[in-house]
């Protein structure tokens, strides 16, 4: 760890998931009070039992009003939120042969609206204090189109653009914005994804990379390095070549 963490209170959504849970546990172990949000009350209660620094604030991120209430509750019960990590997310394949509009809309609702709702709930408190950090959970898969990722990948491309825009708007107001772009992490989210998962990582390792990266204070935390370089460089190739590489690299086994 490069420097001592100076966050006191972190609000994380998707806190019962593979990545969110490990981030919550890691931050709590290091003395940060963690407000944990997800829908499952039982799983949140189980998480809170692991460390007394973790408190459960159940909510559905698609419910903007409920999230506003949660942010108020956290400020009242724990104190000022100085780090918010909107990490709740879902993956559903965009299968062009059998379009499932319901799951596509659900992905947009959780991965896009859910993140915007979370930021909107925490932002007024941060703006009033001219202080805070928003660490948006994107994905390296937001950098290019990928087979059957029309809705998940697009939702993550939104995160990249959103984080860049917010950084421009919020840095002058004293609020830091960070973008977290992991590659494949071994969680329930991609359990049904049946294409190659290059350099897949354990959630514990991903959480360590995330917390260390946020602690360093740069804008983007992207890993593993090889996958990050792949997705960022492939974008600048001629499109026909880019599509050929992506089709080949992500063909089903």
In the shown chain, the binding pattern of residues 63 to 102 toward ligand NAP, with x for contact by CB under 6 A and - for none, equals ------------------------xxxx------------
Q: Which listed residue (152, 158, 193, 198) is catalytic?
A: 152
Least distance to ligand NAP, CB of residue 55, Å: 15
Q: Can 152 be counted among the known catalytic residues?
A: yes
CB of 166 to ligand NAP, least distance (A): 17
- Give whichever of 87 and 133 is closer to ligand NAP, judged by the CB atom: 87
CB count, 10 Å around CB of 17? Answer: 23
Nearest-approach distance from CB 182 to ligand NAP, in angstroms: 4
- Residues between 137 and 196 that touch ligand NAP (CB under 6 A): 137, 139, 182, 184-185, 187-190
3-state SS of the chain? Answer: CCCCCCCCEEEEECCCCHHHHHHHHHHHHCCCEEEEECCCHHHHHHHHHHCCCEEECCCCCCCHHHHHHHHHHHHHHCCCCCEEECCCCCCCCCCCCCCCHHHHHHHHHHHHHHHHHHHHHHHHHHHHHCCEEEEEECCHHHCCCCCCCCCHHHHHHHHHHHHHHHHHHHHHHCEEEEEEEECCECCHHHCCCCCCCCCCECHHHHHHHHHHHHHHCCCEEEECHHHHHHHHHHCCCCHHHHHHHHHHHCCCC
* Cβ distance to ligand NAP smaller for residue 78 or 90: 90
CA–CA gap between residue 77 and residue 160 (Å, rounded): 32
Residue nearest to ligand NAP (CB): 17
Q: Omega of the bond prior to 224 within 30 degrees of 0, cis?
A: yes
Choose which of 40, 50, 72, 77 interacts with ligand NAP (CB under 6 A): 40
Which x/- pattern over 95-134 shows residues binding ligand NAP (rule: CB under 6 A)?
Answer: ---------------x---x--------------------
Residue 7 or 158: which CB sits closer to ligand NAP? 158
Q: Which member of 17, 132, 153, 224 binds ligand NAP (CB under 6 A)?
A: 17
Tell whether residue 35 is a contact of ligand NAP (CB under 6 A).
Answer: no
Report the catalytic residues: 152
Contacting positions for ligand NAP (CB under 6 A): 13-20, 38-40, 43, 60-62, 87-90, 110, 114, 137, 139, 182, 184-185, 187-190
């Amino acid at each position: 760890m490069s420097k001592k963490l100076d966050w006191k209170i972190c609000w994380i959504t998707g806190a019962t998931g593979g990545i969110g849970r490990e981030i919550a546990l890691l931050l709590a172990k290091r003395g940060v009070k963690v407000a944990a949000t997800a829908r499952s009350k039982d799983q949140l209660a189980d998480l809170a039992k692991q460390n007394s620094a973790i408190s459960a604030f159940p909510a559905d991120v698609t419910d903007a009003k409920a999230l506003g209430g949660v942010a108020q509750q956290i400020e009242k019960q724990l104190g000022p939120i100085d780090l918010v990590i909107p990490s709740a997310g879902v993956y559903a394949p965009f299968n062009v042969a059998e379009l499932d509009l319901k799951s596509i809309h659900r992905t947009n609702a959780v991965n896009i609206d859910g993140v915007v709702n979370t930021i909107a709930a925490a932002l007024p408190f941060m703006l009033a204090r001219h202080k805070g950090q928003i660490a948006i959970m994107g994905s390296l898969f937001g950098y290019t189109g990928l087979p059957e990722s029309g809705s998940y990948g697009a939702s993550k491309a939104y995160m990249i653009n959103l984080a860049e825009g917010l950084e421009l708007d919020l840095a002058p107001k004293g609020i830091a914005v960070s973008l977290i772009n992991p590659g494949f992490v071994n969680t329930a989210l991609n359990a049904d994804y049946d294409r190659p998962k290059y350099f897949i990582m354990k959630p514990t390792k991903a959480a360590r990379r995330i917390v260390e990266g946020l602690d360093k204070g740069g804008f983007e935390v992207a890993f593993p390095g090889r996958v990050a370089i792949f997705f960022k460089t492939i974008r600048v190739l001629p499109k026909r070549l880019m599509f050929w590489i992506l089709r080949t690299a992500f063909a089903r086994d």
